[in-house]
Amino acid sequence: MKFFLDTADLAEIEEANSWGALAGVTTNPTLYSRIGGKLDDFHGHIKKICDIVGEDCPVSAESVAMTRDEIVADGRVLAAIASNVVVKVPTCIEGLAATRALADEGIRVNMTLCFSVPQAILAARAGARYISPFIGRFDDISEDGLDQVQQIVQAIGNYDFTDNTVNGEQVEIIAASIRSANHVTQCALFGADIATVPFNVMKKLVKHPLTDAGIEAFLNDWEKVK
């Protein structure tokens, strides 16, 4: 499983990128507004993220247009920012149509706000390079978000979508709306391709109390043998 960082905060991206295990970044309008971002600066901000992580790391930038033509126009502009930009498009009829058009132009799409197996299969057939089912938001309505994402991973794995995607690349599932370390553990156990993780959860993934205790014991014992 690969780790993406779910944030628009440049300092968080720089820090997580320095750990050596970051494979991509996902942003959305909520995350951009949370750092005080303004619409006029949005494209420049995405460029800064792309520059930090480098061209091998996909950076999802969301289109908030609502019609297929507007999403396609928006997507072309976003994709022109850098070669690693992935256009994030919501899973809906206009989004599917736009995804097909963008994929046919060689532009990679991350279909987001996916909450069911049929939505995920339609996204893959429409040419999405990534599909983002949400865990936490499903939990928020008293459903089992992990179970839903597991079903989507299994269903997508049943078929070959390479005829549908840009350059025949394999579609990958990004487990999103992750709220805890356990979400990440379960995603790895059922084989999600990617987990996109907020920085506060990412920090928790590195830590374990027994690791901390072990380091402290080693340091103490090292003092004794000095």
Work out whether 2 is an interface residue with ligand G3P (CB under 6 A): no
What residues from 15 to 54 belong to the interface with ligand G3P (CB under 6 A)? 26, 28
Identify which of residues 148 and 177 has a Cβ nearer to ligand G3P in the complex.
177
Residue 127 falls in which region: left (phi positive, over 0), alpha (psi -120 to 50) or beta: left
Work out whether 87 is an interface residue with ligand G3P (CB under 6 A): no
Query: Among 41-49, 131-139, 182-190, 214-222, which window interacts with ligand G3P (CB under 6 A)?
Result: 131-139
Work out whether 196 is an interface residue with ligand G3P (CB under 6 A): yes
Work out whether 137 is an interface residue with ligand G3P (CB under 6 A): yes
Q: Is 97 exposed, middle or buried (0-12, 13-18, 19+ CB in 10 A)?
A: middle
H or E element in which residue 72 lies: helix 68-79
* Cα angle 149-59-52, degrees, rounded to a multiple of 5: 135
Work out whether 204 is an interface residue with ligand G3P (CB under 6 A): no
Work out whether 172 is an interface residue with ligand G3P (CB under 6 A): no
Work out whether 148 is an interface residue with ligand G3P (CB under 6 A): no
Work out whether 165 is an interface residue with ligand G3P (CB under 6 A): no
Rounded (10°) CA dihedral 155, 136, 54, 19: -110
Work out whether 136 is an interface residue with ligand G3P (CB under 6 A): yes
Whether 88 sits among the annotated catalytic residues: the reply is: yes
Give dist(CA 13, CA 55) in Å, integer: 14
Sole binder of ligand G3P in the list 110, 177, 193, 202 (CB under 6 A): 177
Q: How many CB atoms lie within 10 A of CB 75?
A: 27
Rounded (10°) CA dihedral 139, 144, 149, 150: 150
Residue 135 C-beta: closest distance to ligand G3P, Å: 8
Which chain residues interact with ligand G3P by CB under 6 A?
6, 26, 28, 132, 134, 136-137, 176-177, 196
- List residues with catalytic annotation: 88
